[in-house]
A and B are shown apart, each in its own frame.
Chain A
Amino acid sequence: QQQVKQSPQSLIVQKGGISIINCAYENTAFDYFPWYQQFPGKGPALLIAIRPDVSEKKEGRFTISFNKSAKQFSLHIMDSQPGDSATYFCAASIIQGAQKLVFGQGTRLTINP
């Protein structure tokens, strides 16, 4: 019930294309769904996050789509750029108190110029 499943493991997209990464969760008590971006040798950095009371959140070229009934959420990167090449992690938690984030396995994204 604590798992978050992320796919694909790796993704190659042409510059200017749309990158899509998917995640599924089991625990219906989760109420906070962030996406983190990690460059090699660095700590993850928060990219965008969503609560389950909305179905979509957009920040610049990054959009989270959330489907509560299917227990799925996804990250869309529009107009993908070589600088977006990184590993992306979805996560889920219960937002109050100490957040025990449960992470997906990660997706290594490569944007070809």
Chain B
Amino acid sequence: DGGITQSPKYLFRKEGQNVTLSCEQNLNHDAMYWYRQDPGQGLRLIYYSQIVNDFQKGDIAEGYSVSREKKESFPLTVTSAQKNPTAFYLCASSGGYQNTIYFGEGSWLTVV
């Protein structure tokens, strides 16, 4: 099936730990994105990447890091520097007609 796969769906992190969220797409899209969603809120852009080995900060990049070594993959690391990491994280990619953005199913991160 074509689409965007995020894993894990649920993740618990202890304070002070780094965690990495996986995102893989088989849509052959060049651009990929990470958004954060807090309960009852809109989506906010963390990082985005237009091509392999290149990425740019979004609106709320502090405390996060990414890499783009392959076109299909765009993992997000939530570092211990992120003060309030508990949220729903959404990976996306864009391409095709009107450069449409497609989202994955999301990953829930909870700090315990």
Contact = CB atoms under 8 A, between A and B. Distances in A.
Interface of A: 6, 32, 34, 36, 41-46, 49, 51, 89, 95-101, 103-106
29 contacts: A6-B42, A32-B98, A32-B99, A34-B100, A34-B101, A41-B106, A43-B4, A43-B90, A43-B92, A43-B106, A44-B43, A44-B103, A45-B103, A46-B100, A46-B102, A49-B100, A89-B42, A89-B43, A96-B99, A97-B31, A97-B50, A98-B31, A98-B33, A99-B31, A101-B43, A103-B43, A104-B42, A105-B40, A105-B42
Contacts of B48: 98, 100
A36 B90 CA distance: 13
B56 A49 contact: no
Contacts of A89: 42-43
Interface string B86-100: 000010101000111
Contact of B98 (A49, A100, A101, A105): A49
Q: Which applies to chain A's interface (DSSP): helix, strand, loop or mixed? A: loop
Contacts of B99: 32, 95-96, 99
A46 B33 CA distance: 15
B17 interface: no
A87 to B, nearest CB: 9
Contacts of B27: none
Interface of B: 4, 31, 33, 40-45, 48-50, 56, 58, 90, 92, 94, 98-106
A36 B98 CA distance: 15
Contacts of A105: 40-42
Contacts of B44: 103
Contacts of A96: 99
B101 A42 contact: no
